[in-house]
Structure 1
Amino acid sequence: MGTIYQEAPPIPQDLKVSIHQSSMVFPSKETQRKSLFLSNIDKVLNFDVETVHFFESHKDFPTADIVAHKLNKALADALVPYDFFAGRLKLNSDTGRLEIDCNAAGAGFVVASSEYKLDDIGDLVYPNPAFAQLVHKTKDFLQPGDQPLCVFQLTSFKCGSFAIGISTSHTTFDGLSFKTFLENLAALAANKSLAVTPCHDRQLLAARSPPRVSFPHPELLNLGDLAVTGTESGVFEASSENLDFKIFHLSSDDIAGLKEKAKDTGGRPSAGRITGFNVVTAHVWRCKALSVGDDPNRSSTILYAVDIRSKLEPPLPKSYAGNAVLTAYATAKCRELEEGALSRLVEMVTEGATRMTNEYARSAIDWGELHNGFPNGEVLVSSWWRLGFAKVEYPWGKPKYSCPVVYHRKDIILLFPPIDEDGDGGVNVLAALPPQEMEKFQKLFYQFLN
């Protein structure tokens, strides 16, 4: 049960990418100059997210120039309803808050080519660090100090296939709203109207006045406390350690087997909802926690994102264009993780999500109004599993594969779909760990799976 990819399949370390053109794309119509309020969730996520979307050659788009022209025009049209995407981050001197200045300064657009064919760059599922060459860095894009909130890079391959690499500031979108943006971009590229009209009212996630923190929030770390204790800055920090990358594939049968195990509660009533995400997250949490040290009394906290759109009262619009995810958590001693039933671990993961009521979410947002901090835990599960980026239909077809550009972060476990999302219904689990921890993680992964 379960399969493992090679640690290092034969892949080029240099994709031999040449940049041919760098330009700015501006809204195709005049937009109103304004400042966009950023919620306390948005402002924590002040870093770039890089994704690559691979496309096979298409008979109606024989050259990358044709795709580039259509993509450029669609992006210009998209920057009208998404005017903030053409803006720039700024600090409001009166409030001290980070905002987006919707100033129509534009998005970046890069045209490039690789000396390889798409088939030559190896298994697209394997997280080749060289994929970073397919995404243009946003810093000082065309002039010093100018940092667009998004940059598109279209890279053509020798076979007629191409990749669209997108770098975006996480302050602009979460995964769900970025998927909606891509659907709208694809619709505009096909000369259609928007698939979904985005909701830009981020005041819907403003803190209450006065702020009311009604729950303890151990999943959040106050940077003031961090300065006092000298604690390491946690799961978002890139590691300088030598890390092994491995992808563990769980088929739909593997996931069904985990679900069956999770039904065994030893006769007590089950309090957990047994979903694919919950059982995979519980399984990964156990393996990751036990791969670090041998202290059975050490506590381990797992973090994972919960979409709060439907949790709030009233619910947020599904079309909310911004970050509407908060960090749920579960904590257990390593002894319980090793000896406890999978059903109990699934219950703890489920409890983290059910804890996210309207009041809890509002309390977490209010916490962010009072403290400068970010999520705090031993391991973060970041799920790209069912975001569906590869299901977006562009005029040149759906992506062959869509993936994030992966960096050295040993405490972030990625869940992402197989290259054929409609295939076996499974999931890929990417871990990046020091060699000794990886050896133990791999052993535990299969031990608890069987």
Structure 2
Amino acid sequence: MAGITVTRKFQSFVVPSLSAPAPTTETLELSAIDRVPGLRHTVRSLHVFRHRKDDAAATARRDAADAAASRRPAEVIRAALSRALVDYRPFAGRFVGSLYAGEACVECTDEGAWFVEAVADCSLDDVNGLDYPLMVSEEELLPAPEEGVDPTSIPIMMQVTEFSCGGFVVGLVAVHTLADGLGAAQFINAISEFARGLDKLTIAPVWARALIPNPPKLPPGPPPSFESFGFKHFVMDVIFDNIAHVKTEYFQANGQYCSTFDVAIAKVWQARTRAIKYNGDFKVHVCFFANTRHLLTQVLPKDGGFYGNCFYPVTVTATAEDVASGGLLDVIRMIRDGKARLPLEFAKWSTGDVKVDPYQLTFKHNVLFVSDWTRLGFFEVDYGWGVPNHIIPFTYADYMAVAVLGAPPTMNKGTRIMTQCVEEKHLMDFKDEMKAFF
């Protein structure tokens, strides 16, 4: 749609709201996982909230007062962010020290999180609810710091763009060094709880980085290469019935359950391998980042609240022939076998019983990186206007083949698979393979 304008009306750092004298600066040590150099990058996403005229429950959650109901989302979220930074001071701080030397820390300087208020001169309906293909550039809806400021130096940035219909979009940019997906969602949910008027957080934040295993540091391997492959975007929605059909087939064949993640990722890995037509004996890999909080229940707080990086990179390797020529159920079994190895592999890493650092990732054409955004907690965020209709993650880099598992807008049911993993010359074959699975 031509002529759409997004205007940034106000931008500044939001600092913690303190009723008492400001606390002294505190320097907090990061965990061995936080300090992985590859995590010093931003994770960007858009969270779309449509206006719900008939949502009486949402109105009640906004204090049930007419004055409160008339407040703008940007105003409410800005104030809630300031309040949440009191409990989550590291998000208002700055990174100091060198990740590569293993001495990086977070200094709680209270300099604040970057916050942008913006307005769009159209309704969300005018831009198809901000569904694919995007009719507004993500760069207009995502916050950007002032010129000359390194975005990876600010732990969290937010932009709230209000649309003429009353709906709004929250653009988030978070540095992975401070929190993994579950941790970042925990912080955003804290903001939403204060936005709804809660006086106390449901889950109290816990720093506790010293409780994460800290094995002896391995000698660094060769520096990773960052070759740009020109991978193209492709998005596909799969209805729940089709996923359920594959799950039933897998159970009947193996006597075990499989997850939506298993089905979707096996589907992408096989389709990509077939479309690219690697030589049969060529090794192909799929890598996903598995949550390990359940493996640390003896040391992490029983009530939860830990929001640091707590994951392990699980890599599944097979020949291209085995992935391409086998059935989908065979590829699902490979994924599940990889997940089953997680406890042992994480335990070995924790004690230093590895020769190669599993967190030192390799970005090559034959490696597919996957992530699941459906279980992180972002879909439960409610600032007082209801939960998001859909979320658009931008975890893409030119040097990574990626697949992201999400959800279609709420009016649809099923699973959304967002990919950037094949070049233009393979895109049509990849689409055909994806659509032929069901």
Query: Does 2:340 align with 1:354?
Result: yes
Aligned with 1:321 (options 307, 315, 323): 307
- One-letter code of the match for 2:423? P
Alpha-carbon distance in structure 1 between the residues aligned to 2:72 and 2:157: 19
Asked if the contact 2:381–2:387 (Cα under 8 Å) also holds between the matched residues in 1, the reply is: yes
The TM-score, its normalising length taken from structure 2, stands at 0.83
Q: 3-state DSSP class of the match of 1:80?
A: helix
Residue 285 of structure 2 corresponds to which residue in structure 1?
301
TM-fit CA distance, 1:85: 0.3
Alpha-carbon distance in structure 1 between the residues aligned to 2:179 and 2:241: 33
- One-letter code of the match for 2:362? N
Aligned with 1:342 (options 328, 335, 349): 328
Sequence identity (%): 26
TM-fit CA distance, 1:123: 4.8
- One-letter code of the match for 1:232? S
Cα deviation 1:390-448 (Å, max 9, x = unaligned): 32222232222222236464600111111118x53x2111223322211121222233x
TM-fit CA distance, 1:43: 2.4
- One-letter code of the match for 2:93? G
Query: Does 2:381 align with 1:392?
Result: yes
TM-fit CA distance, 1:82: 0.3
Asked if the contact 2:405–2:417 (Cα under 8 Å) also holds between the matched residues in 1, the reply is: yes
Q: Give ranges in structure 2 of 5+ residues lacking alignment.
A: 54-65
Aligned with 2:31 (options 31, 34, 39): 39
Alpha-carbon distance in structure 1 between the residues aligned to 2:151 and 2:419: 35
Residue 56 of structure 2 corresponds to which residue in structure 1?
none
Alpha-carbon distance in structure 2 between the residues aligned to 1:282 and 1:306: 16
Asked if the contact 1:245–1:431 (Cα under 8 Å) also holds between the matched residues in 2, the reply is: yes
Residue 137 of structure 1 corresponds to which residue in structure 2?
144
Residue 286 of structure 1 corresponds to which residue in structure 2?
270
TM-fit CA distance, 1:375: 2.2
Residue 16 of structure 1 corresponds to which residue in structure 2?
5
Distance 1:68 1:290, change over 3 A: same
Alpha-carbon distance in structure 2 between the residues aligned to 1:370 and 1:89: 27
Cα deviation 1:258-312 (Å, max 9, x = unaligned): 22333464xxx66x64222112211211111222234111111100111000023
Alpha-carbon distance in structure 1 between the residues aligned to 2:355 and 2:208: 18
Query: Does 2:160 align with 1:168?
Result: no
Alpha-carbon distance in structure 2 between the residues aligned to 1:277 and 1:18: 38
Query: Does 2:229 align with 1:232?
Result: no
Distance 1:96 1:308, change over 3 A: closer
Q: 3-state DSSP class of the match of 2:17?
A: coil
Aligned with 1:116 (options 115, 119, 122): 122
Distance 1:264 1:396, change over 3 A: closer
Distance 1:442 1:295, change over 3 A: same
Q: 3-state DSSP class of the match of 2:371?
A: strand
Aligned with 1:84 (options 72, 81, 90): 90
- One-letter code of the match for 2:87? P
Distance 1:248 1:110, change over 3 A: same
Residue 74 of structure 1 corresponds to which residue in structure 2?
80
Alignment of 1:196-211 (within 5 A): 196-208=203-215, 210=216
Q: 3-state DSSP class of the match of 1:41?
A: coil
Aligned with 2:43 (options 23, 40, 49): 49
Asked if the contact 1:26–1:107 (Cα under 8 Å) also holds between the matched residues in 2, the reply is: yes
Asked if the contact 2:211–2:299 (Cα under 8 Å) also holds between the matched residues in 1, the reply is: no
Distance 1:446 1:112, change over 3 A: closer
Alpha-carbon distance in structure 1 between the residues aligned to 2:419 and 2:130: 16
Asked if the contact 1:311–1:356 (Cα under 8 Å) also holds between the matched residues in 2, the reply is: no
Distance 1:358 1:138, change over 3 A: farther
Asked if the contact 1:78–1:184 (Cα under 8 Å) also holds between the matched residues in 2, the reply is: yes
Q: Which is further off, 342-351 or 53-62?
A: 53-62
Alpha-carbon distance in structure 1 between the residues aligned to 2:262 and 2:402: 16
Distance 1:140 1:256, change over 3 A: same
Q: 3-state DSSP class of the match of 1:402?
A: strand
Alpha-carbon distance in structure 2 between the residues aligned to 1:394 and 1:93: 35
Cα deviation 1:25-50 (Å, max 9, x = unaligned): 11112344211222232223111111
Alpha-carbon distance in structure 1 between the residues aligned to 2:296 and 2:344: 4
Q: Give ranges in structure 1 of 5+ residues lacking alignment.
A: 1-10, 214-221
Residue 233 of structure 2 corresponds to which residue in structure 1?
245
- One-letter code of the match for 1:108? W
Cα deviation 1:350-396 (Å, max 9, x = unaligned): 12222111662561695899969632361011211333423222223
Cα deviation 1:125-175 (Å, max 9, x = unaligned): 31637122111124658x799942212211122222221212111112211
Asked if the contact 1:240–1:408 (Cα under 8 Å) also holds between the matched residues in 2, the reply is: no
Alpha-carbon distance in structure 1 between the residues aligned to 2:323 and 2:86: 50
Alpha-carbon distance in structure 2 between the residues aligned to 1:89 and 1:372: 24
Alpha-carbon distance in structure 2 between the residues aligned to 1:420 and 1:273: 26
TM-fit CA distance, 1:255: 0.6
